Structures are given as C-alpha cells and as structure tokens.
A and B are shown apart, each in its own frame.
Chain A
Amino acid sequence: NAGVTQTPKFRVLKTGQSMTLLCAQDMNHEYMYWYRQDPGMGLRLIHYSVGEGTTAKGEVPDGYNVSRLKKQNFLLGLESAAPSQTSVYFCASSVPGEGPHEQFFGPGTRLTVL
C-alpha cells in the first residue's frame, strides 16, 4: 500500500497563477484533510472532507478551493496564487469517529509563490 501520496512534491508559481495539488489515499479512509505548515506555527487546517462529494472549510480556507469527486482523491486548488500562500502543504486521511484514529499524512508539497 502506498498510503497517502501527494503530487507535485515541489512547485514554484508566480503571483496570480493557478494550480491544483492532488492527494490520493489507498486506505479506504472516509476523512481527508488539507493543511498548511508555516515556520513557527502549528499545522493549520484549510479544508476537509468527511466523505465523497462533501467538503467543509477549516481554519484558513480563503484563497483555496477543494473537491472530492472520488473517495480516494482530494484536490486542493489555488485560483490566483499570492506570496502569502508560500508554504508546505500536507494532505492527511483518517477513519471517522471517536478514539485513537490517527491521521496519516502524505509527504507534503513545497510551494513557493514569487
């Protein structure tokens, strides 16, 4: 099993450009998440999904959109990139409900916006 994979691993954008980050998981998890990680700050939730066809906003959703057309995939879109979106983006997945349901993370995408 590959677990959680992310593409691309690195990307450099110019201000105003758009791009889509792809996350895929092969663990049949219901829940999927997109986080950003910036120096000196905790992981911040951008958007999440509790199942195929559903998405919800997290703590920092502005400037991002998401789609979950298939259970195994969760896409994060930047419509018009800004330098403030320079960050490391992590996708994660988990099973739902109470208990020690750990989140499994992908390797991350390092995005620089010039």
Chain B
Amino acid sequence: QLQLQESGPGLVKPSETLSLTCTVSGGSISSSSYYWGWIRQPPGKGLEWIGSIYYSGSTYYNPSLKSRVTISVDTSKNQFSLKLSSVTAADTAVYYCARHTIAAAAFDYWGQGTLVTVSS
C-alpha cells in the first residue's frame, strides 16, 4: 500500500523559507506513470494546487506562486520536497503531498497533511 508522509517545521517566521519533504513508501517515486504534487489548504478554506514534479525533475507550478516555489525530487531517497520563499501569514495552511496519475490527472494518494504556521 502506497503511503506518503510530509515532514518539516510546523512554524516558520515571516519572510523566511518554508521547507517540507514528502517521503514515499510502498512504491517507487521513479514510476513513469505518475507526477508528485503539493497541495495546501488554509484553515477553514479550500484546496490550492501548488505544483508537481516528475521523477526526471520536470516541474509544473501554480502561476500565482511560481515566483516563490521550488519543488525538487530525490529518487535515491524516494522523496520530493517543497520550498516556498518569502512567506507571509497568508501561507499558513495544512500542506499535503499527493501522487497524481498522468493519464487521469487525478490525485489518488495523499499524505495526512502537516500544518505550517507563519508567525514571528
């Protein structure tokens, strides 16, 4: 059974960089059939796609966040990571990592999510 687990600091100061890692177990991140993505959800609000990466390193980013987002992959560790720079309180959210199929473009496996609070 595929599992995804987010990890990283739960508190980040304004103007600093948020860094999260998603560890994939029970399957290979190097599968040619999937992208690996990050989605966030501010408290009490809806879901927002942040960006996605293929095992080769090819990336797609949300245009509204593109200038601040970097997603990378480490196939040797079966992990992919998110960096979001210059954070503000508006970036406070539960951050999810997820797998999505290339063919169906659907997010079929999700991590449990991790709350990141931006505050001084």
- The finding on whether chains A and B are genuine partners in a shared complex, rather than unrelated, reads no
By a beta-carbon cutoff of 8 Å, the part of chain A in contact with chain B is none
